[in-house]
Structure 1
Amino acid sequence: MSKLDNPLSIYKLLPKSNCKLCGAPTCLAFAAAVIKGDKRINECPHLEKEDIEELNGQIVRQMTPEEQLKQILVPLKEEILNVDFSAAVERLGAKFSGDKLTVKCLGKDFIVDSKGNFISDCHINVWVIVPLLNYIIHSAGKDLSGKWVTFRELSSDTVWISFFEKRFEEPLKQLIDSYPDLIEDLILIFNGKHVENSYSSDISLVLYPLPKVPLLICYKKPVEDLQSQLNIFFDMTADENLKIDSIYRLCVGLLVMFQKIALRHA
């Protein structure tokens, strides 16, 4: 039997009765959960023991996004060995002391050594570290233009655009809708700055996830029957100072931090 590395390959082997005894709403949902590692194939009560043993040896579980990022870290830590920290200071808007580079991320110091190891008083997650290493290695050091553009204007890749909208913009809007005071917390905790209200917003806030990759958050509060609006903008040089995939991952990392802050409001 060939490897079972996608939900459909497992679904074909299931009874397709949608009995829900496994805890999933459908057999296809169960198959998807098995591939993700959220369910085990023996949780289907209709499969024979012999079949389960055979199938277990054929299933290839998909890595989680976090696991994928941890794999990406390995080559990045090898690449950073070739970076001259002292020469990169101006390019990155960073500081250099001893053998370590200090980069401001959301107003907090992230200290990195020549082997790619980080120290910070701020919570460190892999969604932030991977873009930060990419920034140190690949940033062109372009000065900010002062012109704001959307993620869609930075990238023509529909996959990254979809990821950005579904996994950052939409959940961030839901988060701010649920916790309106979150905007003020972002200012206090992450050295955000109010700017003149832009794009018909009630609140316009600039954050600096990285020194040369600022983020403009524009939020319009809901009024009567009108829903709230959230728009995210980047300096037009962003894709020269950080690759598109890392911009997306950095934003998801910020969302993880924001969600932790929101829990304090719960």
Structure 2
Amino acid sequence: MSKLDNPLEVYKLLPKSNCRQCQVPTCMAFAAAVIKGQKRLDDCPHLKSDIIERCDVQTHKRETIEQQQEQLIEQLKKEIAKVDFSLSAERLGASLVGGKLKIKCLGRDFIVDAKGNVTSDCHVNPWITLPLLNYVLSSAGKNVSGTWVPFRELTNGMTWRPLYEQRCEKPLKQIADQHTDLFQDILVIFGGKPADNNSFASDISLVLYPLPKIPMLICYCKPEDDLESTLNVFFDATAEDNLNIESIYLLGAGLVVMFQKITFRHGHQALIAL
């Protein structure tokens, strides 16, 4: 029996006529759909039964982002079991309660047990679970330096910069532009505090703590005369000592998703009121 594990091998069997009788635009697209498990070989009316019978298709179903995140979380949970919480609490800026770690995230208490399960009074999402577990496992416990740098100036920031700007800073700016007062209120609700220094002159300049030793400084300037609005997010220079760059990106992307949901609900309620 012939094993087919890539689209080209399937394509070689097809008539290459792009007849569309399989409801797919081209034979190559059909071949790709077969490998993904979206189509079967016998969906092609031109393939003889003996060819179909002697072929074993190895499908490669594409996992969703959510499935990938859940797999990563399960891997991290197994590693959490090796961590001594009593020795780690101080390193993490956390406290030990009943043998579990209590960690402040955006002003809320999140509890991590010895099996890596994360619970909180508020909704627990993968965007906070993944960075939180990584933080417990890998944080060096470096104290915050007070030196703010943009994402791109973190050690590995340039690698993730395009994705970070597209998924974090740009949509965050859009939220601030469209819902400026609400944006500031959201930051305050989630523990935003004024920066200790005045080096960033902005209409909104607040520090958030998604994790105890991973502060974020969000600065927003409203549009004025011919000048466009600006939004910048800064991290403490020690950020990558306490969390890997992918998790730092994930924190930013998670904030955007959360803020978008809040502003959507707020706008929906306003429409109902009208």
Does the 8 A contact of 1:197 with 1:203 survive in 2?
no
For residues 183 and 199 of structure 2, the distance between their equivalents in structure 1, rounded to whole angstroms, comes to 15
Cα RMSD after superposing both structures: 3.5
Q: Are 1:265 and 2:266 matched, yes or no?
A: yes
**1:173 matched to which residue of 2?**
173
Distance 1:171 1:34 in 2: 33
Counterpart residue identity of residue 62, structure 2: Q
Q: Please state if 1:190 is matched with 2:190.
A: yes
Instruction: Provide the secondary structure at the position in 2 that maps to 1:82.
Output: coil
User: 1:214 is matched with which residue?
Assistant: 215
Q: Determine whether 1:75 maps to 2:58.
A: no
Find the aligned partners of 1:232 and 1:127 in 2 and give their Cα distance: 18
Q: Once the 2 structures are TM-superposed, how far is the Cα of residue 60 of structure 1 from its aligned partner? A: 2.4
What is the distance in 2 between the residues matched to 1:240 and 1:131?
13
Matched, 1:132 2:132: yes
AA of the residue aligned to 1:135: Y
Aligned equivalents of 1:10, 1:169: Cα separation in 2: 43
Contact 1:143 1:212 in 2 (8 A): yes
Q: 1:233 matched to which residue of 2? A: 234
Separation in 1, partners of 2:246, 2:17: 40
Write the deviation string for residues 76-103 of structure 1: whole angstroms up to 9, x where unpaired. 1111111111111111111101111100
Gapped runs of 5+ residues in structure 2?
268-274
Unpaired runs of 5+ residues, structure 1, are none
Find the counterpart in structure 2 of residue 94 from structure 1: 94
CA distance in 2, matches of 1:9, 1:215: 50
Aligned length: 249
- 1:209-243 deviations in whole A, cap 9, x for unaligned? 00100000111112244322111100000000111
Please list, as runs of the form range in 1=range in 2, the aligned pairs for 1:2-81 lying within 5 A after superposition. 2-4=4-6, 48=44, 59-81=59-81
Corresponding residue SS for 2:128: helix
By how many angstroms is 1:50 displaced?
6.5
Distance in 2, Cα, partners of 1:84 & 1:170: 40
Q: Conserved in 1, the CA contact under 8 Å of 2:175 and 2:183?
A: no
How far, CA to CA, are the matches of 1:108 and 1:250 in structure 2? 15
Where do residues 126-165 of structure 1 align in structure 2 (5 Å cutoff)? 126-156=126-156, 158-165=158-165
On the 8 A contact 1:197/1:204 being kept in 2, the answer is no
2:249 maps to a residue whose letter is Y
Closer/same/farther in 2, CA of residues 252 and 81 from structure 1, 3 Å limit: same
Supply the AA of the counterpart residue of 1:122: C
Q: Secondary structure at the match of 1:181?
A: helix
Q: Which amino acid aligns with 1:97?
A: V
